[in-house]
């Protein structure tokens, strides 16, 4: 276990979306760094399976981030049981891939409810606790789609850009109380959410080529950037987005000029 500035010894960490994918990887990583981990997910059975695999006293509970009262009650219960809440990481999001002209109202509402309203609910509930205790770190997952888009990404991209502004505002409002708030911006990661893309060889290959590393990321590769942001190694980092995208947003186009 790391005993340096990256350690999470003595920290109480709530990882939302811990039932699978990036959230599960982050929960396991936080436990390896010494945190007392609460695995939260809308699927309690999946969260419990991850908590059991982590061991070390990790526990699980169900939470639907669309339900503001439910999020508040879950965080309040953590404080009652553990005495504090030091870290909150929120990974869940959904996407409906349709053009603007094809989007239905209920689809719009569903994506916004999870990605944007859910993120706000988490920020608000965690912020109330952390500003009162005068410490804490929150990481909300955004995306490269907060910066760059493709057809069919309108509402998803809108919510991911909105998360960045929520994070910036929360950082400005919570900073005087010693609370840091940041966003993480993954590129293309192999998770259940991207299974549809992986199943299409041409689509999968096109995304791999867009990264300057010429491959997709694993969920495990999101652990280091996330734990950096919540650790004391990032004690002066707040109100920003850290891209872990394999250079996706750095490279402009796919053509290499002759002689290069």
Distances (CA, A) of 218 to 33, 185, 210: 19, 14, 16
pLDDT at 255: 61
Answer yes or no: 156 catalytic: yes
Annotated catalytic residue, options 103, 156, 204, 207:
156
Q: State which residues of the chain have pLDDT below 50.
A: 1-2
pLDDT at 191: 85
CATH 1.10.1040.10 fits 12-243, yes or no: no
Give the start-to-end residue ranges of the domains of the chain.
12-243
pLDDT at 2: 45
pLDDT at 260: 55
Which pTM was predicted?
0.94
CB atoms within 10 A of CB 67: 16
pLDDT at 1: 44
The whole-angstrom separation of Cα 18 and Cα 54 is 11
Residues 6+ apart with CB under 8 A from 71: 63, 64, 65, 121, 122, 125
The whole-angstrom separation of Cα 259 and Cα 56 is 55
pLDDT at 256: 65
Phi, psi for 59 (deg, rounded to 5): -125, 170
The whole-angstrom separation of Cα 157 and Cα 152 is 9
């Amino acid at each position: 276990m790391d005993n340096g500035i990256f350690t999470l010894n003595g920290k109480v960490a709530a990882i939302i979306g811990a039932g699978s994918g990036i959230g599960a990887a982050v929960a396991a990583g936080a436990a390896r760094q010494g945190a007392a981990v609460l695995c939260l997910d809308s699927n309690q059975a999946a969260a419990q399976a991850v908590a059991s695999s982590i061991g070390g006293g990790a526990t699980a509970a169900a939470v639907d981030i669309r339900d503001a009262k439910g999020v508040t009650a879950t965080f309040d219960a953590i404080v009652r049981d553990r005495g504090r809440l030091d870290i909150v990481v929120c990974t869940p999001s959904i996407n409906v891939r349709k053009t603007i002209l094809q989007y239905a109202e209920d689809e719009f509402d569903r994506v916004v409810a999870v990605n944007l309203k859910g993120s706000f609910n988490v920020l608000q509930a965690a912020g109330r606790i952390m500003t009162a205790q005068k410490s804490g770190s929150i990481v909300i997952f955004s995306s490269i789609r907060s910066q760059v888009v493709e057809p069919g990404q309108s509402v998803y991209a809108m919510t991911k850009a909105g998360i960045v502004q929520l994070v910036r505002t929360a950082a400005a409002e919570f900073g005087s109380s010693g609370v840091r708030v940041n966003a993480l911006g993954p590129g293309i990661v192999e998770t259940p959410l991207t299974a549809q893309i992986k199943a299409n060889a041409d689509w999968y290959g096109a995304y791999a080529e867009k990264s300057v590393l010429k491959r997709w990321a694993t969920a495990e590769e999101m652990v280091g950037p996330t734990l950096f942001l919540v650790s004391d190694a990032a004690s002066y980092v707040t109100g920003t987005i850290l891209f872990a995208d394999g250079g996706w947003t750095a490279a402009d186009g796919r053509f290499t000029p002759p002689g290069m």
